[in-house]
Chains A and B, each alone.
Chain A
Amino acid sequence: NAGVTQTPKFQVLKTGQSMTLQCAQDMNHEYMSWYRQDPGMGLRLIHYSVGAGITDQGEVPNGYNVSRSTTEDFPLRLLSAAPSQTSVYFCASSDQGNSGNTIYFGEGSWLTVV
C-alpha cells in the first residue's frame, strides 16, 4: 500500500528555473494539499483541493500553481524559482469519511534554490 508518494525527494534549482513536484495517492481520497515546512514556522498550507477539478489557495500560495485533473494526482508547480522557496515540501491527502479526518503525508521533497 503506497499511500502518498512524492517525487523527487531532493532537487536543486537555479533561480528562475521552473519545476514540478509530483504527488500521487492511491487511497481514493478527495482532499489533497501541499505544505511547506520551514524552521520555526511549522507547516504552512500552500494550496489544497477538495476534489478533481477544484483547487484553492492556502496561507502561502504566491509563486506556486496547482491543478487536479484526477483524484489521484496533485502536482505543485514552481514557475520561476526563488531562493525564498528553499524549503521542505509535503503533499498530503485525507478522506473525511473513511480515515476519520486523518491526514496522510508523503515523505517530503527537499528543494534548494540557489
Chain B
Amino acid sequence: AQSVTQLDSQVPVFEEAPVELRCNYSSSVSVYLFWYVQYPNQGLQLLLKYLSGSTLVKGINGFEAEFNKSQTSFHLRKPSVHISDTAEYFCAVSDQGTYKYIFGTGTRLKVLA
C-alpha cells in the first residue's frame, strides 16, 4: 500500500537561510508526487509536482524538489526563505493511472526573523 512519510513535524529556520523539507514514500508502482502549501486558515495550494521527465522540479515561490527513485524520496528545498514562507507543507503521492492520493502528516515551517 502507498504511504508518505514526512519525518519532520516542525522545522524552524532563520530568514534568508536555506531549508529542506523531507518526504519519503512507499509504492510498488510508478508514482506522481506533489508538494502542497497551506497558509493559516486556508486551503491547500499546489507548490510543484513531478509527473515524469526531469527529476528536478521547480515550483512557485522559489521552491524546488528532486525526485529520487532509488531512495523513494521527494525532498523540498528553498535556498533562501522569507517570513512569508511560514506555513504547513504537505507531500502527497498518487499511483500513475489512478486518482487516489495519499498525503503525509505535514511539516510546519516556521521562519524566524
Contacts and interface: CB of A to CB of B under 8 A. Distances in A.
21 contacts: A30-B99, A33-B99, A40-B9, A42-B105, A43-B90, A43-B103, A44-B103, A45-B102, A48-B100, A94-B99, A94-B101, A96-B99, A101-B32, A101-B94, A102-B46, A103-B92, A103-B101, A105-B36, A105-B43, A105-B44, A108-B43
Interface of B: 6, 9, 32, 34, 36, 41-46, 49, 51, 90, 92, 94, 99-106
A30 B43 CA distance: 20
Top 3 A-B residue pairs of the complex, sorted by shortest distance between their CB atoms: A42-B105, A31-B99, A105-B43
Contacts of A42: 6, 90, 103-106
A90 B44 contact: yes
Interface residues of A, number: 23
B99 A106 contact: no
A50 interface: yes
Interface of A: 30-31, 33, 35, 40-45, 48, 50, 90, 94, 96, 100-103, 105-108
Nearest to A58: B100
Given A90-B43, A101-B94, A102-B49, A45 B105 contact: no
B101 A108 contact: no
A102 B32 CA distance: 10
A70 B89 CA distance: 32
A33 B44 CA distance: 14
A107 to B, nearest CB: 5
A80 B103 CA distance: 27
